[in-house]
Structure 1
Amino acid sequence: MAKLSDELSRTLAEAGEGLKALQEEVIEAGFDPDDPASVQAAIKHVETVIDAKVARFRGNALVREAADQIKAECRANILAQVEAASTRRGTRTLH
């Protein structure tokens, strides 16, 4: 029983470190909203930075889940910015 408790304590301590590392990371990614390749490169950049930040916690399911959720949120934010840029370029009354 003590072995399971030790394992759980280690997993939770590791998760705390991994979550803190994610929380402290500031990721910036520039992209051209009119260029799909640029948008995909920005998404890939963000995912790569996140993966690198939590690489040492690879075996921790809690950290992996948090990293996946953050990657999904970043991807959604980038795509929302692309959509917003597209909306601003829409049809406008010129006179």
Structure 2
Amino acid sequence: MTSNRRDRFTIAHELGHYFLHYLQPGMTTPKSFWRGESNRGETQANVFAASLLMPEDFFKAAFSRCGRDWWALSQIFGVSPRAAEVRAQVLGL
């Protein structure tokens, strides 16, 4: 029910949970995260996904060419326009 771009971000987000939360030494109890939940783990997974799909140096270079054309940036990185916009905000662009 979602776009390929949204799916790419979701997959990267879930990989973030796997690498940041499930592979931690001493993790003995299961963790659960829910869609739409706002907590430290969700924020970390979002930052992981954004960094993986839109590396800072490449994103800044593309932003300098495209400016706030979220659609153009989303095309370059294969993410949604909203994900590109949030990445720019987080990077202070």
TM > 0.5 fold call: no
What TM-score do the two structures reach when normalised by structure 1?
0.31
